[in-house]
A and B are shown apart, each in its own frame.
Chain A
Amino acid sequence: MTAPTLAPAGTRPVTRRVRTATLALTAPLLLAALAVSVVVAVTIGPADLSTGEVWRSIGSHLGLATSDLTLLRDGIVWELRLPRVLTAAAVGAGLAVSGAVMQALTRNPLADPYLLGLSSGASLGAVLVLLTGLSVSLTGAAFTGAMLALVGTLLLARSLGVITPSRTVLSGLAVSSFFGAITSLVIFWNTQGDSYRQILNWLLGSLAGADWDTVRVSWITLLLIGLPVVFFGRVLDAFAFGDTAAAALGVNVSRTRWLLLGGTALLTGAMVAVSGSIGFIGLVLPNAVRLVVGSRHRLLLPYSALVGAIFMIWVDTGARTLFEPRELPVGIITVLVGAPVFVMVLLRNRERA
């Protein structure tokens, strides 16, 4: 072991600053890409509408332009496409942030936002509404189901003793399976014809039901919960070497865990409620982004949100246009794209271990 010279230690922070500056530049670029994605994605779709017609229609609703579209064609843009694209963006961002936070808190790169049983609860709520025709909103029922599952998971984890990552994951697994079985039972007993396709759509994850209500639900949750969570980046970093290490760095471990688990659960619950259980986004996206920007959450969380939003917009655009006039549940495409990426991450981890 020779004594290190001063020179390399003195130059390294400079290259590091350059890298930080590059990342600071890509953030506005991604924001611009998100804006462009929204603007372009709304012009794509089955109805025979020109780009100009679409933008003029949106402009007229914002009081910026006049549009000569018929009410029906205007409705396609303003009531169908735009809400759908905006909902997709929020859902992608929300699921990606939730996934990144879950992975940090459980110290498990393979954790996903549905870990606490949320999607199974939401599915049960949604399926009950679709089948019984109860006069409550689908979104509301799905959210209630998600929260019931969450409470079940946390109560179970709690009764096992101090809440640890592995106890939480195992409890989530138990609750998921249970709710999943009930959902299957209900479907088996009750389903015929049309509702079957509706249910399948929902279980696979679809944004076909997007409207201005889902835009409101998803964006308000994203801004109220997702945005503050991003500011926990440094605290999440402190969990890198485990709970004791985080505590030794001055982090209130149990309070942070409860706060962030609760927050991301609400966030995930809202996203599942508007879109069904879209798979793999929350699992794969944070891992892919981590490969590029590294594991520091002050970068990882905002970048995951931006990439998640853009990714979801385009995947959903594919879902509604690729097989016109039929529409694919977007969850199928996210898994089709996500599974190979997931395998890549696994292979990379194997090399490192």
Chain B
Amino acid sequence: MTLQAHAISVELGGRLILDEVTFAAPAGRVTALVGPNGAGKSTLLRALAGTQRARGAVRFGEVDLLALPRKERARTLALVEQDVHSEFSLTVRQAVELGRTPHQSSWSWGSADDEAVVASALQRAQAAEFAGRQLGTLSGGERQRVQLARALAQEPRLLLLDEPTNHLDVRAQLHTLALLQDLAADGITVIAALHDLSLAAEFCDHLVVLAAGRIAAAGETTTTLTADLIEATYGVTADVLVHPRSGRPLIAFSR
């Protein structure tokens, strides 16, 4: 289903963080959300997820997401935040089981169904091999996969990720983005905030560029990501080349 954000505005401490942000994220695609630090990417993701109070409307297919009851919203969409951690010792499996929260009543113990969903989420995010380990013993990349598995255990139709490739080595980055493509191919609408423009261009068909709380550009990655746009939003000189293998945009920065 297509996500339509209309005139999303967020004010924090008297400062306008998002100013009438309007864009669409097509179904079955990975939409990259890019922009300089402080552009409002995290706030926008939180506003879409309903965890940050915002003005405006978020429609997902026919549904008004912000008007949905909390539990139902948590069954529709999942949010993978940056750098989350817990003060208490949890195993990977227990952390992923938290994703079943919106599907269960508050005193139930969880069914065989839940176990199956958790197992498949662990597999899908490639976290099954260390499912029994304590969260505190994991590497940054493994921890990121656990958060992704937790989100998948919610069985969302809309997946929002805040810099899912942060702290990951190149191989793990490529892996995560390929997984997001797979999920999109399964019909999940995926929106990921990303910093690496070349990676965004390689893996994401759709691009939303945010700068100073406003939409600077949005559309097909290949046509949207231009040298002029990069100069205007980031203030740096760049050349947009053609990737020798994929034929997609490849960014070269100049000093």
User: Chain A interface (Cβ within 8 Å of chain B)?
Assistant: 1, 3-4, 8-10, 12-13, 16, 103-104, 107-109, 231-235, 237-238, 240-242, 244-245, 247-252, 290, 294-296, 298, 352-353
Closest CB of chain B to A83's CB: distance in Å?
Answer: 33
Residues of B within 8 A of A298 (CB): 107, 109
- The total number of A-B Cβ pairs within 8 Å is 111
Given A103-B88, A248-B81, 9 further pairs, Cβ under 8 A: A1-B175, A13-B119, A238-B101, A248-B49, A249-B98, A250-B70, A252-B70, A298-B107, A352-B136
User: Within the complex, what minimum Cβ distance (angstroms) separates A115 from chain B?
Assistant: 15
Is B194 an interface residue when CB atoms closer than 8 A count as contact? no
CA A16 to CA B130, docked complex, whole Å:
14
Residues of A within 8 A of B219 (CB): none
Instruction: Please tell me if the beta carbons of A237 and B46 are within 8 angstroms of each other in the complex.
Output: no
Q: How many angstroms from the CA of A235 to the CA of B137 in the assembled complex?
A: 25
Q: Is the CB of A240 within 8 A of B71?
A: no
Q: What are 11 of the A-B contact pairs (CB < 8 Å)?
A: A1-B126, A1-B172, A9-B123, A237-B98, A240-B86, A242-B84, A248-B49, A251-B101, A290-B88, A298-B109, A353-B136
| Minimum distance in angstroms from A243 CB to a CB of chain B | 8
Leading 9 A-B pairs by shortest Cβ distance = A250-B74, A250-B102, A250-B71, A295-B88, A247-B51, A248-B79, A249-B101, A352-B136, A241-B84
Q: How far is the CB of B221 from chain A (nearest CB, A)?
A: 26
Quote the shortest CB–CB distance from A192 to chain B (angstroms): 47
Complex formed: what's the CA distance from A231 to B109 in Å?
11
Which residue from chain B places its CB closest to the CB of A291 in the assembled complex? B89
How far does the alpha carbon of A4 sit from the alpha carbon of B126 in the complex, in Å?
Answer: 7
Q: Which residues of A contact B101 (CB under 8 A)?
A: 234, 237-238, 249-251
Indicate which residue in A103, A107, A244, A252 contacts B46 across the interface (CB closer than 8 Å). A244
Q: Which residue of A lies closest to B119 (CB)?
A: A9
Residues on B lying within 8 angstroms of A by beta carbon are: 46, 49-51, 70-75, 78-79, 81, 84-91, 93-95, 98-99, 101-102, 104, 106-109, 115, 119, 122-123, 126, 128-129, 131-132, 134, 136-137, 154, 171-172, 175
Are A16 and B93 in contact, CB atoms less than 8 angstroms apart? yes
Residues in chain A near residue B71, CB distance under 8 A: 250
Q: Complex: how many Å from CA A96 to CA B171?
A: 46
| B residues near A12, Cβ cutoff 8 Å | 93, 131-132
Between A238, A240, A249, the greatest number of chain B beta carbons within 10 A of the residue's beta carbon is seen for A249
Q: How far is the CA of A54 from the CA of B46 in the complex (A)?
A: 64
Q: Complex Cα distance A241/B78, Å?
A: 14
Most buried by B among A107, A250, A296: A250
